[in-house]
Amino acid sequence: MRREPVRANDFTYGSVLMSMSCKDLGCLKEGMQIHGCVEKGRFAGNLVVRSVLLSLYAKFGKMEDARLLFDSMKERDLVSWNMMIDGYTAVTSFGLFQLMLAEGNLHSCLSFIHISKRSSDSIWLDIFEMVSELHGFATKLGFGRSNVALIRSLIDVYAKCGSLSSALKLYEGTMKGDLISCTAIITGNCITLVVLFRSSSPDHLKLE
């Protein structure tokens, strides 16, 4: 196409970058080459193209490159914020989310879901305050009792961080009878018991 007298537009670049869904490093290399072309052309500041580039870098775990690109963006929308939030670990995602709110940016339930899932994936027992604050934000903004995916994620992360009482309270109040939420509580209880056992058992104690 570049050899023909046809000019690419923002959707051309976006479509090509979005098609690079493979995890092969060759896709990343090609994506970076396209990024170089974009920076030299008239779409260097295009929101659509830069958002797709963010997605590419985040997908390959290149969060430093993604953050450099994100920080250089003069315009950011909800999609670009959510891509960054979804790419980071729980604590960093939450910090970025707080920055998003502080700057008065738009928010969506998807932002909360991304962070709660990251928290759940971490399986830390010391993130209760962060999760509780996130839950409070969601409730104030009207997402706390209406979105099934968010509630399930919150129940899951409450259970895994050792706050079974919070998980049960949310389950009883909104999702009673939901198999996925019930399973999350059981799993979280098992994780808590294993952690407690390891922390209280002598080093020489072995399970038969």
Q: Please indicate, yes or no, if residue 23 is contained in any of the structural domains.
A: yes
| pLDDT value for 208 | 46
Q: Specify whether 25 is located in the same domain as 75.
A: yes
| pLDDT value for 1 | 45
Query: 84-117: string of b/e by CB count within 10 Å (b at 16+)?
Result: bbbbbebebbbebbeebeeeeeebebbbbbbbbb
Q: Please indicate, yes or no, if residue 77 is contained in any of the structural domains.
A: yes
Q: Please indicate, yes or no, if residue 176 is contained in any of the structural domains.
A: yes
Domain that holds residue 154: 106-202
Q: Specify whether 153 is located in the same domain as 186.
A: yes
Q: Please indicate, yes or no, if residue 4 is contained in any of the structural domains.
A: no
| pLDDT value for 114 | 76
Q: Specify whether 73 is located in the same domain as 112.
A: no
Q: Specify whether 113 is located in the same domain as 198.
A: yes
Q: Compute the distance between CA of residue 161 and CA of residue 176 in angstroms, rounded to an integer.
A: 20
Q: Please indicate, yes or no, if residue 74 is contained in any of the structural domains.
A: yes
In contact, 147 and 136? CB cutoff 8 Å: no
| pLDDT value for 68 | 92
| pLDDT value for 67 | 92
Q: Please indicate, yes or no, if residue 1 is contained in any of the structural domains.
A: no
What is the end-to-end Cα distance of the chain in Å, rounded? Answer: 67
Q: Specify whether 134 is located in the same domain as 193.
A: yes
Q: Please indicate, yes or no, if residue 3 is contained in any of the structural domains.
A: no
| pLDDT value for 19 | 66
Q: Specify whether 15 is located in the same domain as 70.
A: yes
| pLDDT value for 192 | 59
* Tokens coding 85: 């939030």
Taking each helix axis as running N to C, give the angle between helix 90-102 and helix 109-122, from 0 to 180 degrees, rounded to the nearest 10: 160
3-state secondary structure of 97: helix
| pLDDT value for 207 | 47
Number of domains in the chain: 2
| pLDDT value for 3 | 52
pLDDT digits (tens, 9 = 90+) for 42-83: 777 788 888 888 888 888 888 899 999 999 888 888 888 888
Residue ranges, the chain, pLDDT below 70? 1-16, 18-26, 105-108, 118-126, 144-146, 188-189, 191-208
**What are the CA-CA distances from residue 38 to residues 49, 58, 61, 119 (Å)?**
8, 18, 21, 34
Q: Please indicate, yes or no, if residue 111 is contained in any of the structural domains.
A: yes
